[in-house]
Structure 1
Amino acid sequence: MGKSSQLLLSLKKRHNPVSSSTIGRWIKSLLTDAGVNTSIFGAHSTRAASSSAAKKAGVPLIDIMKAAGWSRSSTFERFYYKPILSPQVGDILLSSEVPSNDDLGSS
């Protein structure tokens, strides 16, 4: 069996590396489940959504900055802080549920 340097592999037989579009589809599915309007926000929005949800949940800003690799709070405030209107969005994003085996297909 060949070796892969890919971080994420399919759980389905053959265990091929998954493509970026497959990962994007998984993230978009989680966003939809969280009540996020995916016609406006896509997989690229998760960093802003998760850090904003953490702030709303009361996580200290210093911890958010460490987790994201930011050295200045202005980075979060200027580019990533978005008000969260639905309380369930933060709960789902912070719980980071793993997709089921049925959802984990190869690309």
Structure 2
Amino acid sequence: MKVSPVIVDSSQDAGVLPAEWTAPAPLPREQLAAEAGRVAESFVPVRRLGPLRPTPAQIRERAYYIYLERGGAPGDPVADWLQAERELEAEYRAAYERSRRSGV
């Protein structure tokens, strides 16, 4: 089966896009302001969230350094973990308090 090419004269429609290809009409200024207000109301500054907690990976790393400070001598891994957790939480709390005082 032989197909013949179709020639279309598109000179009249040059630069005109079908309606479904065009961008939607811009929102009215009032609607934009209302939507921006909703976003602003939902924003919660980090300082209101309270101090963050160290991750298990951070605690594990600190516990490893406690082990190394001991010279790699046998010890209690649970005690190392708890000490690491206390130290990191104290650092996080101090950083949180500093940020509250500075207004960040």
Give the TM-score normalised by structure 2.
0.28
The structure with higher relative contact order (CA 8 Å, sep 6+) is 1
Higher Cα Rg, which structure: 2
Between structures 1 and 2, the one with greater helix share = 2
Give the TM-score normalised by structure 1.
0.27
